Structure 1
């Protein structure tokens, strides 16, 4: 079973505390935060459609679409 987590489309630290969210699988959510900083997420990638087109995510999205990902360890300082 894949766990999901709530992604604030505009990060809380950038004023998105009460804004729209999306439920993402944990590997995808972690990867977004590894590859994109909060300012960039707020400025350029504050919709699911924009996230899907982010150049920084294309290699990962291509890989994950072809994989059965149950768990990846890409969180900063956590396992």
Structure 2
């Protein structure tokens, strides 16, 4: 029996790791008027962490590009950690609102 083919990998635009799946992140959150604006493909750990550490208002005003997100002071410790790990999933880490 032939070996099963490995699933295709995607690249997270924030941490730049190869991962099994990415999700679409609105660079300007939909709640802040970004429904039809640019998006970025982020792995689940990055997507959850972005929304954990930054508010929608901060995302809209200060981090409306992938380059700006990569430079966000609030994400530097996380990005340093995630780039060295093979983590594919992190449990839902959104703040209770």
- Do both share a fold (TM > 0.5)? yes
Q: Secondary structure at 2:88's aligned position in 1?
A: coil
Task: State the TM-score, normalizing by the size of structure 2.
Answer: 0.74
Task: State the TM-score, normalizing by the size of structure 1.
Answer: 0.90
How far 1:76 sits from its partner (Å)?
2.6
1:35 aligns with 2:53: yes
Q: Which residue of 2 aligns with 1:12?
A: 30
Contact 1:14 1:42 in 2 (8 A): yes
1:26 aligns with 2:44: yes
How far 1:74 sits from its partner (Å)?
4.0
* Consecutive aligned runs of 4 or more in structure 1 exceeding 2 Å deviation: 74-77
Higher gyration radius (CA): 2
Gaps of 5+ in 1: none
Alpha-carbon distance in 1 for matches of 2:37, 2:86: 31
Greater relative contact order, per chain length (Cα 8 Å cut-off, separation 6+): 1
1:60 aligns with 2:81: no
1:71 aligns with 2:71: no
* Residue 53 to residue 38, structure 1, CA distance change in 2 (3 Å): same
Q: Matched residue pairs, number? A: 77
